[in-house]
Structure 1
């Protein structure tokens, strides 16, 4: 098990935090990481050309990540009931600019419409409004999501951890997948932007999942090589986020 430092210690990041104040804090809960291999040529066609792909052993990866957020608030403000917790579902892949590995989102489905609008505007992320429900049944997390508009992107699954907590070893596949401390998006002009994030190292567990319905990839034109994902679980992690900055000025 290993890795217990101060909550906001940043020594495990591979580059310094921005010399700017953080803007938002969140807690992410009951995350499932479901990762699918994808051919690099196929991935290159669906990720904006301005974002260089990041690969592991010559292979691209797509992640479906359902979870629910709590304790959401802007810096210097109290939590606002009704907007401080909601479910979210991400479809993501991995890119890297100037040695800084990060996440690129194909979509982020969320059940809170106000949060969707704010995130679309402030962070330029492809948030979508969805009907969502998260509950617990015995040791399983029961998760349902159905997008309210556009394509019929849905996920119905149940998942749970199956191992003790561990922390990814340096250079491992698990570290490559999860230990990423920024997200990338594009400006109106199509230039890469970066949002730095900070959280402790991921407390990971092996996981199992049953997928009753999953059209999150097929409905978004994403063709993976294998429909059996590699699964990991994380119970909870606290996060801070920074403002968007140009990714090319480092």
Structure 2
């Protein structure tokens, strides 16, 4: 998928954790115009943690870098299949303010740390956004096994190969991104704190997550547009 190169950035230290959930539970949380997407009958809630590096408009010599943590699900929408974000927490005051005001994205300010020791990453986050539900996240993760690119049609591809996202504010909005296919490895995760489900009105899933770490990847993004 190609998109206008309005923003350029690199994503690194990525962790994907996904839990299966009843599609009906997800569907009732979605705004008008979206419906839940499933794979083999299951819907998924995903917690994704990563660092966004050198985010800048195309041609700009200067960029921003900060960590991000989001809770998401997968949907069918008027522009095609994509991701629906319940929250995007980020450690950047300016970026959060701009994203909320101009693009209707559910960004929240948070204090975050990303520490690397070889291939092991510790990612911590504490939401500091005024008048928003409390969120804490604390995980250490590392790759296990060999790298691979998800096969088209597989569950792994359903979970990570998404190039469109939706958000709702004063209406429904859609954005598009472009990048090479993800290169993944299965992950070993020590998840010490995660209150993203409760903060977004979900019961905590009682199953073990499907966990992956991802190689760094260069990403381009288009402007967000009203559907």
- TM-score of Structure 1 vs Structure 2, range by shorter chain: over 0.9
For structure 2, the residue ranges without an aligned partner over 5 or more in a row are: none
Question: In the TM superposition, what whole-angstrom CA distance separates every residue of 1:172-209 from its partner, at most 9, and x where no partner exists?
Answer: 00111111111112351x2x321111000001111110
For structure 1, the residue ranges without an aligned partner over 5 or more in a row are: 1-12
Q: Does 1:31 align with 2:24?
A: no
Q: Is the 8 Å Cα contact of residues 64 and 89 (structure 1) preserved in structure 2? A: yes
Q: Does 1:165 align with 2:147?
A: yes
Residues 75 and 60 of structure 1: CA distance in aligned 2, closer, same or farther (over 3 Å):
same
Question: In the TM superposition, what whole-angstrom CA distance separates every residue of 1:192-250 from its partner, at most 9, and x where no partner exists?
Answer: 32111100000111111001111111222112543411101102111000112344xxx
Equivalent runs, 1:63-212 vs 2, <5 Å: 63-80=46-63, 84-98=64-78, 100-149=80-129, 150-186=132-168, 188=170, 190=171, 192-212=172-192
When structure 1 is superposed on structure 2, of 97-106 and 140-149 the one drifting more is 97-106
Please identify the structure whose Cα radius of gyration is greater.
1
TM-score by length of structure 2 reads 0.93
Equivalent-residue separation in structure 2 for 1:164 and 1:216 (angstroms): 30
TM-fit CA distance, 1:98: 4.6
- Tell me, what secondary structure is at the counterpart of 1:177? helix
Q: Which runs of 4+ in 1 moved over 6 A?
A: none
Equivalent-residue separation in structure 1 for 2:205 and 2:20 (angstroms): 6
Question: In the TM superposition, what whole-angstrom CA distance separates every residue of 1:52-96 from its partner, at most 9, and x where no partner exists?
Answer: 21111111100001111111101232214xxx1111101100112
- Tell me, what secondary structure is at the counterpart of 2:84? strand
Equivalent-residue separation in structure 1 for 2:205 and 2:113 (angstroms): 29
Q: How many residue pairs are counted as aligned between the two chains?
A: 225
Q: Does 1:235 align with 2:185?
A: no
- Tell me, what secondary structure is at the counterpart of 1:175? helix
Equivalent-residue separation in structure 2 for 1:103 and 1:61 (angstroms): 11
